[in-house]
């Protein structure tokens, strides 16, 4: 798996996902404002990858701060954090990661400025490593629901490229594959930005996993034919009642899955859970430029010049369509998710388990 995001010699390194799969290009960033731009322009995308990139962006911005002491440093860190936080509104990892970096800096405020700067770099690298470990743990729990011979449908890209490595929904696929299960994946192409066609199909092929690319409107056809055994998707923000925001089109897939009695799983690291929101209708949904709909990947115009087009980048799948939410702490029914906030909760008892 190629590294999605890295810190090397004082720079943030991102594989340019707008160029994949035709070209594998690594961009170097030495200005935090360009990191914000890279998140906004989808050079890096996918909630956990956005989070780690934002943390490295904060570390990068911190290097340029001139301050006499920790207090002044913290004051100057704030506008940098606000700038990065403005990149995209839906993936909660962006805000989670920035807050974590700010809280970390706060704890260090009595140290020397060079020491705080270096510690912030180390913290962002730690967040990258933690993300990979979390994805592996989530993959293990999720793989329990995958049986030999299963065909899994996924939407968008919730793979290695959407994280610091291994992936969330595709982490479940990779973990099942590592356990020797013969599995197949159907990947929705995911209009308008084609994350499924460009990224999911590509990374699954790189890992030697049997993948079939379909257009988004084919999912029902294959479900009706009994060719899909389970659906696994990622999430940008899961809220307290178990509602989940994910790439536009996820809701339609969930409704179709319910109609056909197909289990629908969401792979959600706890960093994508926002317990401060009670229900999914409160999640801010990013509206992107209409040209993403009227043109195919900014290359070919497919709609009449001047037509009005809508482009919400995410939709909300209500908890009632979700079989279980798979986290690094185990899989839980959406209605039990809120119990993860309680450090005394008996997770062993709450965990949702496969019936096979």
Where is 117: in which H helix or E strand? helix 113-143
Beta carbon nearer to ligand MRU, 60 or 158: 158
Strand partners, 312: 287
Which of these segments, 4-12, 28-36, 228-236, 303-311, binds ligand MRU (CB under 6 A)? 228-236
Beta carbon nearer to ligand MRU, 62 or 134: 134
Which of these segments, 27-35, 42-50, 203-211, 323-331, binds ligand MRU (CB under 6 A)? 42-50
Q: Are the C-beta atoms of residues 274 and 237 closer than 8 Å to each other?
A: yes
**Tokens of residue 157, six digits:** 């890209």
Q: Catalytic: 342?
A: no
Beta carbon nearer to ligand MRU, 120 or 164: 164
Candidate list 35, 138, 162, 172; residue touching ligand MRU; CB under 6 A: 162
Give least dist CB 208 to ligand MRU, A. Answer: 21
- How far separated are the first and last CA of the chain, in Å rounded? 31
Catalytic residue among 6, 131, 188, 236: 236
Residue nearest to ligand MRU (CB): 234
* Count of residues interacting with ligand MRU (CB under 6 A): 17
Give least dist CB 71 to ligand MRU, A. Answer: 36
How far apart CA 41 and CA 18 sit, in angstroms, is: 8
Q: Which of 241, 265, 263, 253 is nearest to 331 (CA)?
A: 265
Candidate list 38, 48, 249, 257; residue touching ligand MRU; CB under 6 A: 48
327 binds ligand MRU (CB under 6 A): no
173 binds ligand MRU (CB under 6 A): no
Beta carbon nearer to ligand MRU, 128 or 247: 247
Q: Are the C-beta atoms of residues 312 and 287 closer than 8 Å to each other?
A: yes
How far apart CA 244 and CA 251 sit, in angstroms, is: 9
**Tokens of residue 6, six digits:** 């890295």
Q: Are the C-beta atoms of residues 137 and 328 closer than 8 Å to each other?
A: yes
Contacts of ligand MRU in 67-96 (CB under 6 A): 91
Which of these segments, 22-30, 43-51, 212-220, 221-229, binds ligand MRU (CB under 6 A)? 43-51
Q: Which of 217, 129, 206, 130 is nearest to 173 (CA)?
A: 206
Alpha helices in the chain (DSSP H): 32-40, 47-63, 70-85, 92-107, 113-143, 169-178, 195, 201-206, 219-224, 250-259, 291-294, 347-350
Where is 82: in which H helix or E strand? helix 70-85
156 binds ligand MRU (CB under 6 A): yes
Residue carrying the six token digits 């920790």: 70
Catalytic residues: 236
Q: Which residues bind ligand MRU (CB under 6 A)?
A: 45-48, 91, 156, 158, 162-163, 168, 195, 234-236, 246-247, 313
């Amino acid at each position: 798996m190629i590294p999605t995001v890295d810190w090397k010699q004082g720079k943030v390194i991102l594989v340019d996902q707008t160029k994949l799969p035709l070209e594998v290009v690594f961009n170097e960033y030495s200005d935090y404002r360009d990191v914000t731009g890279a998140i906004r322009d989808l050079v890096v995308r996918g909630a956990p990858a956005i989070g780690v990139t934002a943390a490295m962006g904060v570390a990068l911005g911190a290097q340029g701060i001139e301050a006499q002491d920790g207090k002044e440093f913290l004051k100057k860190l704030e506008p940098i954090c606000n700038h990065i936080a403005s990149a995209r509104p839906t993936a909660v990892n962006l805000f989670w990661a920035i807050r974590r970096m700010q809280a970390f800096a706060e704890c260090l405020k009595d140290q020397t400025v060079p020491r705080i700067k270096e510690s912030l770099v180390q913290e962002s690298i730690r967040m990258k490593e933690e993300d990979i470990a979390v994805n592996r743990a989530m993959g293990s729990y999720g793989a329990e629901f995958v049986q030999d011979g299963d065909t899994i449908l996924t939407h968008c890209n919730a793979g290695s490229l959407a994280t610091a490595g291994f992936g969330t929904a595709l982490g479940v696929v990779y973990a099942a594959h590592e356990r020797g299960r013969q599995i197949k994946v159907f990947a929705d192409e995911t209009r308008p930005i084609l994350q499924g066609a460009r990224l999911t199909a590509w990374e699954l092929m790189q890992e030697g996993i049997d993948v079939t690319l379909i257009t988004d409107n084919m999912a029902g056809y294959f479900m009706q034919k009994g060719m899909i055994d389970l659906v696994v998707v990622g999430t940008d923000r899961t809220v307290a009642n178990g509602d989940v925001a994910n790439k536009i089109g996820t809701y339609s897939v969930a409704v179709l899955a319910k109609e056909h009695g197909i289990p629908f799983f969401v792979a959600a690291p706890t960093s994508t859970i926002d317990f401060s929101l009670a229900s999914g209708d409160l999640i801010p949904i990013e509206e992107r430029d209409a040209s993403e709909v009227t043109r195919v990947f900014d290359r070919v115009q497919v709609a009449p010049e001047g037509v009005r087009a809508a482009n919400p980048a995410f939709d909300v799948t209500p908890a009632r369509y979700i079989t279980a939410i798979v986290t690094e702490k185990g899989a839980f029914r959406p209605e039990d998710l809120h119990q993860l906030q309680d450090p005394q909760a008996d997770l062993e008892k709450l965990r949702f388990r496969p019936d096979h």
